[in-house]
Structure 1
Amino acid sequence: MQRLVILGGGESGVGTAILAKKKGYEVFVSDKGIIKDKYRKVLEHFEIEWEDQQHTEEKILNADVVMKSPGIPDKIALIQKLKEKKIPVISEIEFASKYTDAKIIGITGSNGKTTTTMLVNHILKSEGLHVGMAGNIGDSYAKMVAENDFEYYVLEISSFQLDGIVDFKPHIAILTNISPDHLDRYDYKYENYIASKFRIAENQTEDDYFIYDADDKDLTDWLKKHPVKAKLMPYSIERTIEEGAFSTNKDITITTNNDTLKMKTDSLSLEGKHNLKNTMAASTASKLIGIRKETIRNSVANFQGAEHRLEKVLKIHHVEYINDSKATNVNATYYALDSVRTPTVWIVGGVDKGNDYKSLMPLVREKVKAIICLGKDNTKIIEAFGNVVDLIVEAYDMSETVKIAYKMAERGDTVLLSPACASFDLFDNYEDRGNQFKAAVQNL
């Protein structure tokens, strides 16, 4: 009997434990933090041995294989010891994929992956396909594989999850874009992060498809130097594409296998250039697996976007309040500011991941009338925009922030929460930050 040790007793760890137990492994779950009650109960129900608030090395270093949760960096001593002993350390995505024959659509990218994943899932479900959505979103992929027999999986995959793959291969891979993010995990080398994202295509063959943004220079430059085997399906809003997707002002044209689908851009439920691209990527993937044109058209017209991503909260006295708490990097905030059409009171700040705010300058000059910094340390933001925006104030809780925004905003303005930073200084996570924003707006 093979021994599987799982590091991390959260959603992916416990899901993997359930699948491994079902497949006859001896399973041990170890978490340095505290395992939540709901997960403890599941482990006890399945009679899986576990520990928390420690890693007992003798119980870990005797593993045949280790599954580590994406939040654990490779640099820690325990992982280094496992590697020295040549014990494979893999991700949940790698482990679970061995136990399903379902067709996999895998989606990665610095931004847009959640929206694209949800949209692909929505289109496939609308066609009546038996589909599971997992990965970096929703329920554990391994748990789904253990409990269901889906024909298709739509997986949102982070770079951390891709770092732990060996044989994992999606039939269709989507790479939405690349911008510097999480560089603290990649020795502060952008090329290491890019290489990690491209692992989504490394096991693909000529029978598979690779959908990507042809307007993203970092991505296309990398692809020229490191070609992939899969059939390339680019999409663009800057030039025409023969095989793939492109958009002119009013139309989207998607061509796969000599068959073309046309849609009007004004029929899409999602606004902004970035969402036009997300829609092209999702529609191309759906068309490649044979979804009917009518289903794709209807699905992109009635899709409700991801929570905390450019989510319209309320309009109060002709001022629009938008929750974009999921914008945890500069690139995501760029898209948010780009999609706003009116003078903006911008709420920004949090835990800076080595941000460079230069790319936001033109948009801030053009659209932002006031900035509210919501973070423990706002020095960098004040230095970056102090000469560009006349009104910059600091706030330290959400209720105060929203009250200040309410006073600053005038008829026809937008109040935009798009932090460009992680949330852990003042909030549990970006969802908590977004929910507090919505509650504060509703209490005005």
Structure 2
Amino acid sequence: MTGLAGLGATGSDPADSIRLPADQPSADRGGGPIATVTAPPMVGTRSVRRQLQRERAARMRRRIALVAIPVLVAAGLMSWAVANSSPRHHVAGTSSAAAARTQTTLLVQLSGGLQSAVASALVAHDPATQSGAVILIPSGLISQVPGFGSMPFGQALSLGDLNAPRDTLADLMGVTVDGAWALTPSAFARLVDAVGGVTVTVDRDVTRTSNGGTVIVVPAGTRRLSGEQAAAFASFLADGEAEQQRLARFDAVWNAVLSGLPKDPGQVARLLAGLGSGSRSTFTADRLAGLLVGFAADAAQHQTSDQLLPVKALDTVNGSQAFSLDTVATAKLVQQELAQSVPANQKLTGNRVMVENQLGTPGLAETTRSKLERAGFVYVQGPNAPTMPNPTAPSAVLIFDTSSSAIAKGYAVARALGLPTSDVKVASPISVADVVVMVGADYRP
């Protein structure tokens, strides 16, 4: 994972030569020294390369054309964040690692043009503490989408698989995201209409261009909105506004919808079933209804918080809005709101495994994720190997010292992936992972 794994530079580059220690026997060869094997230098993931560019500039194969600059966000947006974070009473002991997880998390997304998400929120509900949280995710957050590479977070929804944005967010934040729910504007409008409309404060006129002119779709002011109007308001972003302003509008409609839902989960499940094909979820209707009713009850008791995911603004050559994750601030947010949803392997150190694809088969490296996670490792998506495509290259499991613990870790990774322990090699240390796997011809998905 590349989000909160603590990626610090060591000041060393991977060596071009990788080998097994001569004094360590290979279980697959019956013992004895292993010959040196030459391999290309390792290259980190795109998000990690930004942190390593000073020490590894000579080895970078390409550069990201994004330079961090300050971004101005209106004071009204800051007051929104404060006003929508209601005080809550945290139950003592709920952060204990030994406690069973009772929190459920759901990624909710509203799609726009080209089926990308224009608004996204991670919703968490814990029936044990009767508390919840909404964390709003900018669509322009540059992310590593498993199996597809780097792209804005909102674009991951356009891939057609709800697991793509769900897994991307899980990797970014280092938490379990249990499910995903995506709505088209028309399905979102039907949801609003099903609760009788919503009353919100429209902060400015919502407009659209028509026949070369500007048409006001929703006038500014506190008013009752129909489903179509609410969908327009929730997805509206005026010229020159920061993307977080649109997220504030979406959040206002979201909370109003929740307050209007029936209190009976069965009724809500039937309501959801009537939204049509524009509503897609990895949850069943009953599970989704139970989460929504539970979260609405949390909100009614002022036991929820609404927050923006901490990000840093980036500048782009075309002027579009783009962001990188503020990992330090996000780690604090996760500890505060999502500590229960941090997987056990994320709480460990020394277990990050970066996977690179040597063969060129699309999505091959991603197939190692579940195998590694079942074995207690953290999957870190790497780029394609520099020599890709090489359909005959054997796999290499790279460890970075000859200690018995490092060798045991390499063997454990190999076994988790069904690879022979003879694939374990030793290379010079890198700072992006504890083990690197170059997936080759002897790997079976």
User: What's the TM-score, normalizing by structure 2?
Assistant: 0.22
The structure that has the greater radius of gyration is: 2
Higher helix share: 1
User: What's the TM-score, normalizing by structure 1?
Assistant: 0.22
